[in-house]
């Protein structure tokens, strides 16, 4: 095939276009695969952060909120509906409350609506908890600007990690939203 465009035949041009198209499709496939792998790394980092934080969050739930049952990565399937809770905790008797904790390595605004939906739908998916008051805790390592304050304004507890321990960051006297 000649490199001078004026000397190229239509067959040469067609072959060049087909080769370019093949390379483009291969590049596109590689980019999609790379995106899938990067997404997988993000999930693994999130699970790593959850695993690191779980012991301190469990202590916080037991001491501060008097939870007697703490379940990490709690999965529920009811019919065609499915939900995974990063941490689901509850207590019976005098406390009679359930707490849904959502961990994020990077906390973005969307996490607020996600957690509120999880708290609201809890009695539909975990029927044994339907008579309990429910609250939410949004826990994260790195928070986008203003998100912590927005979460608190929505009635959610917030927590962040300091020295390998999760601590509540809600102000003194904070009154959470309690779903019935």
The structural domains of the chain, with segments of one domain joined by +, span: 53-168
- H or E stretch covering 132: none
Q: Which tens digits make up the pLDDT trace of 117-150? A: 999 999 999 999 999 999 999 999 889 999 999 9
pTM over 0.85: no
What pLDDT was estimated at residue 52? Answer: 59
Q: Which tens digits make up the pLDDT trace of 65-119? A: 999 999 999 999 988 999 999 999 999 988 999 999 999 988 999 999 999 999 9
Q: Are 134 and 96 in contact (CB under 8 A)?
A: no
Q: Rounded to an integer, what distance in angstroms lies between the CA atom of residue 53 and that of residue 63?
A: 16
Q: What length is written for the chain?
A: 180
Topology given in CATH for the domain delimited by 53-168: Trna Endonuclease; Chain: A, domain 1 (3.40.1350)
What pLDDT was estimated at residue 88? Answer: 96
Q: Rounded to an integer, what distance in angstroms lies between the CA atom of residue 152 and that of residue 175?
A: 9
Residue entry with tokens 């429910």? 134
Q: Which tens digits make up the pLDDT trace of 33-71? A: 666 666 555 555 455 555 556 788 899 999 999 999 999
Kindly report the backbone phi and psi dihedral angles of residue 136, in degrees, each rounded to the nearest multiple of 5, phi listed first. -125, 145
């Amino acid at each position: 095939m000649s490199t001078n465009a004026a000397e190229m035949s239509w067959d040469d041009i067609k072959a060049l276009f087909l080769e370019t198209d093949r390379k483009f499709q291969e590049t596109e496939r590689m980019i999609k695969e790379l995106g899938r792998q990067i997404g997988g790394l993000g999930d693994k980092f999130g699970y790593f952060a959850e695993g690191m934080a779980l012991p301190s969050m469990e202590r916080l739930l037991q001491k501060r909120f008097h939870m007697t049952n703490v379940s990490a990565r709690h999965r529920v399937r009811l019919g065609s509906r499915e939900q995974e809770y990063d941490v689901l905790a509850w207590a019976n008797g005098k406390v009679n409350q359930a707490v849904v904790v959502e961990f994020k390595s990077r906390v973005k605004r969307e996490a607020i609506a996600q957690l509120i939906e999880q708290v609201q739908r809890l009695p539909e998916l975990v029927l044994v908890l339907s008579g309990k008051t429910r609250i939410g805790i949004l826990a994260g390592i790195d928070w986008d600007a203003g998100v912590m304050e927005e979460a608190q304004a929505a009635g959610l507890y917030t927590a962040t990690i300091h020295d390998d321990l999760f601590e509540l960051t809600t102000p003194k006297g904070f009154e959470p939203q309690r779903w019935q």
